[in-house]
Amino acid sequence: MDRIRIRGGQPLTGKIRIGGAKNAALPLMVASLLTDETLTLSNLPHLADIQTLAHLLQQHGVAVELSADGDGREVAEGRVMSLRAAHIDNLVAPYELVRRMRASVLVLGPLVARFGEARVSLPGGCAIGTRPVNLHIDGLKALGAEIEIVGGYIEARAKNGLKGTILRLPQVSVGATEDLLMAAALADGVTVLENAAREPEVSDLARCLVAMGAEIEGIGSERLVITGKPRLHGARYRIMGDRIETGTYAIAAVISGGDLELVDADLEVIGVVAEALRAAGAEVDATKAGVRVQRNGGVIRGVDVMTQPFPGFPTDMQAQFMTLMTVAEGAAMVTETIFENRFMHVPELARMGANITVHGASAMIRGVPSLNGAPVMATDLRASVSLVLAGLAASGETMINRVYHLDRGYERLEEKLAACGADIERLKG
């Protein structure tokens, strides 16, 4: 298994290009199931999760092709994915694939909406929380699907198609909003989806569906009104930039005392993270090419944050921000409200000398003058990258194990950081 070795203490300077958003790309790929015409997605990130989902879609019968970007912004092999779901011959999403990546559950709504049935494995447990899929199931039932759980699988049927309805999500869920949005796009009549997630990735999906012929009002708001269409058509769509990758490298700049320009980043979608970084002592500004983040010698100040659905502080930035707080002057309180078990990075950070006390959903971080390198490992993507950030700031050597978590969501992480002066390398094995 690969490992990453970091020798900390170098301020990072230079430019890092931000890729397409993993959490936008995954539902956008699934949207290809809604039409028999070709959906072409550009700005595709090269990540393990993208390959896993492509594999799942292929086993349903989707023809998947990769090519170079043709929209003039870049020419890089494999940045464009064309998906054509003209011959779907398998409506089963098997356990082996769904358990590897929970976003696979998103095929449920589109398959039932277009083909009147689907059999999708329940994903099972997850390192960051129980993560049930009841909101997907209840929402599809409200749209008229009959659903049973048999042998660990969700068996859904809607022989006469789905019917539009008024549906209020009891809790904000990104995945359930995306699943139901796709299902409603092919339902008969109007669906009103209240308390919908407002994450930019949801809006990216909605805009792509509109490009495919869907009628959706209220994009970006908590009330989506979807007028179902009998069929959607193909489209070309550019995937939005990754706001979590942006926020992560922004913290790399701040924690290392450096100055990075994040090319193709969008300051607007990292609003609350940028505010927290400014409060901590960083300068964060929009540039022509993206976003510049710097900390020129100033101290890092303690800042309290609480994770919330968008536009609140993202749970996917919690571990990285906590890492920054470990070397702040003073104390900070980080509260996690989205997932019940997303502090798995705390004991690893403690091994590097961080002073963190967890009380339920809150962690009190008392800043220390510096972290010390250590061998560490993590159980999920964002926790893993938080250890990379800690390693960049620490004195001595940090060895990150279980690098496969990083490969799920950060493309060429060690190359991007090394190009800006980090002493970081991947050890194969």
Q: Which positions lie near ligand EPZ, rule CB under 6 A? A: 23, 26, 102-103, 129, 131-136, 171, 173-176, 197, 201, 315-316, 338-339, 381-382, 409
Structure tokens belonging to residue 420: 């800006």
Question: How far apart (Å, rounded) are the C-alpha atoms in residues 422 and 400?
Answer: 15
* Complex with ligand EPZ: residue 237 or 339, whichever CB lies closer: 339
Active site residue 126: yes
Segment (H or E) for 235: strand 235-238
CA-nearest of 215, 23, 185, 210 to 102 is 23
* Complex with ligand EPZ: residue 196 or 212, whichever CB lies closer: 196
Question: How far apart (Å, rounded) are the C-alpha atoms in residues 84 and 205?
Answer: 17
Structure tokens belonging to residue 352: 């590097």
* Complex with ligand EPZ: residue 195 or 227, whichever CB lies closer: 195
Structure tokens belonging to residue 22: 């993993």
Closest residue to ligand EPZ: CB criterion: 175
Partners of residue 301 on adjacent β-strands: 329
To ligand EPZ, the closest distance from the beta carbon of 368 in angstroms equals 26
Question: How far apart (Å, rounded) are the C-alpha atoms in residues 365 and 256?
Answer: 19
Partners of residue 20 on adjacent β-strands: 241
Pairing of strands 166-168, 190-194: parallel
To ligand EPZ, the closest distance from the beta carbon of 73 in angstroms equals 24
* Complex with ligand EPZ: residue 134 or 287, whichever CB lies closer: 134
To ligand EPZ, the closest distance from the beta carbon of 11 in angstroms equals 27
Burial of 117 (0-12, 13-18, 19+ CB in 10 A): middle
To ligand EPZ, the closest distance from the beta carbon of 36 in angstroms equals 25
Residue 11: asked if its preceding bond is cis (omega within 30°), the reply is: no
Contact between residue 6 and residue 42 where contact means Cβ atoms under 8 Å apart = no
* Complex with ligand EPZ: residue 201 or 261, whichever CB lies closer: 201
Pairing of strands 355-359, 362-366: antiparallel
To ligand EPZ, the closest distance from the beta carbon of 204 in angstroms equals 11
To ligand EPZ, the closest distance from the beta carbon of 41 in angstroms equals 15
* Complex with ligand EPZ: residue 173 or 294, whichever CB lies closer: 173
List 126, 358, 368, 418, catalytic entry:
126
Rounded to whole angstroms, what are the CA distances from 288 to 135, 220, 243, 267, 333? 41, 25, 17, 11, 34
Task: Tell me which residues are annotated as active site.
Answer: 126
